[in-house]
Amino acid sequence: MSLHEEKPLTPGDASPESQNQNLSGGADPAGGETPNPWIGENQGPATTIEAATYPPVQAIPEDLQIGWSWIHFLVFLLFTLINLLVVPSSFMLYYAPHQKMTAEQLQRYLLSKPQVAIGSTIVIYGAILFFLYVTLSLLRGQPFWRALGWRKILAQSARDTQISAGLLFYGLRLVHFCVRLDRGGEAAREHSNRRGIQG
C-alpha cells in the first residue's frame, strides 16, 4: 500500500502540493528560477524519444523452453489417470475366466497371464505418447521431438566422442560387475539353504 492509501487526506489536512513545497525548503530559489530548469525546456510540440531496443533476456535455456501451459499439463494428468484406470480394468475383464473364483484365485490367475501386465503397460505408454504427439506436434505443426524440446546432440570433437565411448564402456562394466556380485550372493544363499535342509 502507498502512503496515500494508508492515510487518506482529510479536509483539514494540507494538500499534497503544499507538503511538497514545505519539504523542498519553503523558499523560492534566488532569481525566480524554477528549481528544475529542464522541466520548461521542451514545452513545444511533442518531441520524439529514441529508445534503444535490447534483445530479450532468456532466463531458461533454449532446450528447456517448451510451449506447454498449465491447462495442458492438467489435461495430460487427467488423461493419464483415466488411462491408468480404464486400460488395466479392460484387460482384466477381457482375460478374466468365465467361472466363479475367489479374489485370491482371480489375482493369482491374472498375475500368471503376462498379457494383462505387459499388454496393459504397452497400451498405456502408447496412449500417453499418442496424446503428446497430437497435442504437441499435430496441433502446432512442429516435429514431435523438437516440440518436446529435444535437440540433436553434436559432438564437439573426436576427444569428446572418445570420452563418451569410454564412459559407456566403464558403465557397462560396472553393471556387469554388480550383476555378477548379486548372482554370487544368490548362489551362496542357495548353497547355505541346501546345507540347512540336509543337516
Q: What is the DSSP string of 165-184?
A: HHHHHHHHHHHHHHHHHHHH
Residue with cell 497400451: 123
Amino acid at 71: I
Note the pTM of the prediction, 2 decimals: 0.46
Instruction: Please identify every stretch of the chain with a pLDDT value under 50, giving residue numbers as ranges.
Output: 23-24, 26
Helices (H), the chain: 3-6, 16-23, 70-95, 103-112, 114-132, 144-147, 158-198
Span 27-62, pLDDT tens digits: 555 555 555 556 555 555 565 666 667 776 667 776
